[in-house]
Amino acid sequence: MFNRNRCLRRVAAIAAISSLVTGCGVLSSDSSDDEGPIIVGTTSSPSTLDPAASWDSSWELFRNIYQTLLSYPVGASTPQPDAAESCEFSDSSNQVFRCELREGLTFSDGGTLDAKAVKHSIDRIRKINVNGGPAGLLGSLERVQAPSEREVVFYLNKPDATFPFVLATPAMSIVAPDAYPANALREESGVVGSGPYTLQSYDEGKRAELVRNDRYKGYADRRNNAVTIRYFQDSGTMVKALRDDQIHLTYRGLAASDVIEFQGRAAKEEEIQLVEGSGTDINYLVFNPKDPWAGKQEVRQAVAQVVDRAAIAHKVYKDTVDPLYSMVPKGLTGHTTGFFDDYGEPNVKKAREILTDAGITEPVPLTLWYTTDRYGSETALEFKELERQLEASKLFDVTLKSRPWKTYVEGYQKGQYPVFGRGWFPDFPDADNFIAPFVGKQNALGTPYEATKITTELLPSSRRESDRGNVVKQFEEAQQILVDDVRLLPLWQGRQYVAASRDISGAERALDPSTIMMVWQLSRKTSW
């Protein structure tokens, strides 16, 4: 049962967080907002304001302005009720999931939030079915029913112990039926939600102004009255804004050089504190099977044999990330080192043999795409390093191309890129979420990947098991299939870094298990 009175366990992605700043005494975090909103800077801007269209960084805004049935209070690693009062599987096979809503829920415009609104919100995701959108998360859902004003029942077409985690993702945000069409994305500006904040104003790619939603009923204990999120094109501009007191905190996109500098200055009582934690975000390459070269398994294998992850982590990211040899990151049950086990250290001779045996004797032309404004300033340097490694082998002729995130997404969803870079910030902390989103006819990449044994045997088998510690075998086998196919090539696993003014508190509590910032945890320190 997912019950809000359940004992909460500290999630691994947050437990390791510790402030590196020194010299602080006991602080009071009770905050008044006479000084205006807390301003958060990030290089991760939304691609849309409609939850039915997004399986990307837009979730970071959604978490704070929309509400889901289940979510993650501080310290929780399993979903707890938010818009719901209680939720549970009502059968022994994990195929019927029932939620009872809180009483008196309303949207920010005063409209009633009832079971029909929840059903509308979930149904429209599947009806609209945006390519690369969140419909892929609902593969196990057969139908939704609203038998009463406060009761919602989800009937699954197969056992799925991960379904409560899916409902806790911002993709399942509850929207007002009158404002969000059942069969089309919302075209009007603004947002009608029921989250902790309302979106007072929004300037795409520049800023989002959030103010306290006085109609909100949920678990969030807001420690501020207003937050402004500013979107930056690069980490350098963002850090300058932090140093110039134009923003109070950074989230996503800190450059490795800035992290190293802040770490070195911590002991010198810099006016900026650095909060560090373990992370489960990953970075990887995607190969388009329809491309004449990237579609060849031997070409993909040769790339995997040449790429030097340790060099990328050290030279580009200054060891602020860790090399990754599996799509499932370290720290999660089921993690393996499959790519290292099969390929070992980078070896040009072995790569040449792979290509020669396939009859490929000339340098392989490959175009690698990356986004300029999503994952931080090092992305361009990372791809230049990949270009250097591949061309140094004399086996590849590499061309680099890039686009801003919004048009970048459109491009890979249309299958325009032979090879492209992606990052993944987990929907929920389970190995399932590092495999399932990338396989199947419809997935988060907009690039179909059948992987039949994974989708029809291994994932269904693992989802019948409520105890997630008992699914190691299935995930190890699934990861080996990914290694053999090399449709996805993991590169590195990140760590979490938040830089903040010394008068801001709450950053160490503000990340949920999918490392999305819950901005209501932020406040100003009112006494030293």
Q: Which two tokens stand for residue 390?
A: 């591949």
What is the distance between the alpha carbons of residues 189 and 145, in angstroms, rounded to a whole number? Answer: 30
Helix, strand and coil in the chain, % to nearest 5 = 30, 25, 45
Which H helix or E strand runs over 340?
Answer: helix 338-343
What is the distance between the alpha carbons of residues 87 and 384, in angstroms, rounded to a whole number? Answer: 48
Which H helix or E strand runs over 407?
Answer: helix 405-413
pLDDT of the chain along its 528 residues, tens only? 333 333 322 233 333 333 333 333 333 344 444 579 999 999 989 989 999 998 888 999 999 999 999 998 887 878 999 999 999 999 888 899 999 999 999 999 999 999 999 999 999 999 999 987 899 889 899 999 999 999 999 999 999 999 999 999 999 999 999 999 999 999 998 999 999 999 999 999 999 999 999 999 999 999 999 999 999 988 899 999 999 999 999 988 888 889 998 887 654 556 888 988 778 899 999 999 999 999 999 999 999 999 999 999 999 999 999 999 999 999 888 999 999 999 999 999 999 999 999 999 999 999 999 999 888 789 999 999 999 999 999 999 999 999 998 899 999 989 999 999 999 988 888 899 999 989 998 788 888 899 999 999 999 999 998 888 899 999 999 999 999 999 999 999 998 899 999 899 999 899 888 888 999 999 998 743
Residue 110: per-residue pLDDT: 95
For residue 140, give the amino acid letter: S
Q: How many H-runs (helices) and E-runs (strands) does the chain carry?
A: 15, 20
Residue 111: per-residue pLDDT: 96
What Cα–Cα distance (Å) separates residue 270 from each residue in 6, 235, 517?
A: 40, 19, 24
> Can you spell out the DSSP letters for 296-317?
-HHHHHHHHHH--HHHIIIIIT
Q: Which two tokens stand for residue 450?
A: 């059948």
Strand 151-156, strand 141-145: pairing = antiparallel
What is the distance between the alpha carbons of residues 510 and 159, in angstroms, rounded to a whole number? Answer: 32
Residue 477: per-residue pLDDT: 97
Residue 377: per-residue pLDDT: 80
Residue 58: per-residue pLDDT: 92
Residue 76: per-residue pLDDT: 82
User: Between vectors from CA 217 to CA 211 and to CA 218, what angle results, nearest 5°?
Assistant: 95
Name the DSSP class of 267: G
- Sign of the four-CA dihedral 125, 128, 130, 135: positive
Name the DSSP class of 287: E
Residue 478: per-residue pLDDT: 97
Residue 278: per-residue pLDDT: 74
Residue 28: per-residue pLDDT: 37
- Sign of the four-CA dihedral 402, 186, 515, 137: negative
pTM above 0.85, yes or no: no
What is the distance between the alpha carbons of residues 522 and 508, in angstroms, rounded to a whole number? Answer: 9
Which residues of 223-363 form beta strands (DSSP E)?
226-231, 249-250, 272-287, 322-323
Q: How far is C-alpha 165 from the geometric centre of its chain's CA atoms?
A: 13
What is the distance between the alpha carbons of residues 475 and 459, in angstroms, rounded to a whole number? Answer: 8
Give which of 178, 185, 101, 111 is closest to 146, Cα–Cα.
Answer: 101
What is the distance between the alpha carbons of residues 382 and 96, in angstroms, rounded to a whole number? Answer: 45
Q: Which two tokens stand for residue 250?
A: 């950074």
* Residues whose CB is less than 8 angstroms from the CB of residue 100 and which lie 6 or more positions away in sequence, other chains included: 84, 85, 86, 87, 150, 151
Name the DSSP class of 480: H
Residue 30: per-residue pLDDT: 43
Which residues of 236-355 form beta strands (DSSP E)?
249-250, 272-287, 322-323
What Cα–Cα distance (Å) separates residue 366 from each residue in 61, 294, 311?
A: 35, 7, 21
CB 390 within 8 A of CB 352: no
Residue 434: per-residue pLDDT: 95
b/e per residue, 84-119, with b = 16+ CB within 10 A? bbbbebeeeebbebbbbbbeebbbbeebebbbebbb
